[in-house]
Structure 1
Amino acid sequence: MKVLFVCLANTCRSPMAEAVFKHLILKNHLTNWKTDSAGLRDWNVGLRAQGRAQELLQQHGLKSEHITRVITVDDFYYFDFIFGMDESNITELQLIAEKLEPPAPCQIQYLGSYLNREEDKIIKDPYFSQGMASFHTAYLQIRESCERFVEQYRPEA
């Protein structure tokens, strides 16, 4: 299983999701599962995750070593699932995928769709918020979504 998390600039939500998912892979001994994250814009390429995202991960015993990058065409063929965080992410991912020949086999989905609560389907971008409250909200949505995804797709022991 190969999973890619995507947000606008690969600096907050997607690196947090990648860190959470890496933790779940280790915790559940899913040795053949892989994960990464990417952005739709190149604003932060080569940088680490945003400071508040790293701080929040650290509060939960996690960390991100991720260096930001932009999604590539190859990602659509390599990953089984590509998760966007909001409507604009999903729309842009679908527009890219529609142009690919041959069609890419990946599934493009909202990460928040695994919460089965319409009000939590969108994981809002916390970047422009003041303080940490929006980062906490995004983290909780990401963590629960990732946990539910793993529960649904992990092989039975």
Structure 2
Amino acid sequence: MNRILFVCTGNTCRSPMAEGIMRKILSEEGLTDIEVRSAGVAAYEGTQLSDHAASVLKNKGCVGPSASTFLSQILIDWADLVLTMTSSHKRHTIQLYPEAVDKVYTLKEYVQDDPQLADKISEMESLITELELKQALSGQITEEERERVLTLQKELPLPDIADPFGGSYREYEKCAWEIEECLIKLAAKLKKDR
């Protein structure tokens, strides 16, 4: 696995912070053969990073992308692994590029290392897919199915990294810290898999 693509909405906050922080971690860990990029499912090509995201990266000694990039087939083809900031980004990416389904994960999902939690996440995703299909075909969702989804939602940690867009510098720092925590686990996983 040599190419990782981080995906968020506008590619001005979360995914550029992930890209910049991951570059620094890869360098520190001697994983210099791994490339990282970022993109947004609703990015306006060439938009500058948010001021707070740029400041957070600078204060951490990281370099992010110079401008936003729209998620494209070229980037999907380039990537060996696509890590999204939220489950909705994941679903959107898979809907646009269904051939990439086997390499698209949320960042938190990919780095979690609890097998029981992995089983619950897998069950939840399968159940939601099944229910969406059922609903699309005008089927009725049973009370039992609704209850199972609610139970799983209560048992699972939030799979998303919250969007700091429009927030304070402190909110961007908090977001970057959450991303960095995941990226440290990612680097350890990459080293282990070598």
When normalised by structure 1's length, the TM-score is: 0.85
Secondary structure of the residue aligned to 1:3 is: strand
Per the alignment, residue 123 of structure 1 pairs with: 161
Which of residues 185, 188, 192 in structure 2 aligns to 1:148? 185
Alignment of 1:52-67 (within 5 A): 52-67=52-67
Which of residues 105, 110, 120 in structure 1 aligns to 2:106? 110
Please list the CA deviations of residues 103-141 of structure 1 after superposition, one character each: whole Å capped at 9, or x if unmatched: 347610111222568435310110032x12321221111
Q: Percent same amino acid at aligned positions?
A: 21
Equivalent residues of 1:10, 1:69 under 8 A apart: yes
Per the alignment, residue 30 of structure 2 pairs with: 29
Deviation for aligned residue 1:59: 2.2
Amino acid at match of 2:21: V
Per the alignment, residue 15 of structure 1 pairs with: 16
Q: Which runs of 4+ in 1 moved over 4 A?
A: 115-118
Per the alignment, residue 136 of structure 1 pairs with: 173
Equivalent residues of 1:112, 1:141 under 8 A apart: no
Deviation for aligned residue 1:155: 5.5
Gaps of 5+ in 1: none
Deviation for aligned residue 1:28: 1.5
Single out whichever of 78-87 and 59-68 deviates more from structure 2.
Answer: 59-68
Greater Rg by CA? 2
Amino acid at match of 2:104: I
How many correspondences in the alignment?
A: 151
Amino acid at match of 2:188: E
Per the alignment, residue 73 of structure 1 pairs with: 73
Gaps of 5+ in 2: 118-155
Identify the structure with the greater helix proportion.
Answer: 2
CA distance in 2, matches of 1:107, 1:138: 24
CA distance in 1, matches of 2:193, 2:164: 35
CA RMSD of aligned residues (A): 2.1
Secondary structure of the residue aligned to 1:69 is: coil
Please list the CA deviations of residues 71-117 of structure 1 after superposition, one character each: whole Å capped at 9, or x if unmatched: 1112222211111111221110110122xxxx347610111222568
Secondary structure of the residue aligned to 1:139 is: helix
When normalised by structure 2's length, the TM-score is: 0.70
Secondary structure of the residue aligned to 2:15 is: helix
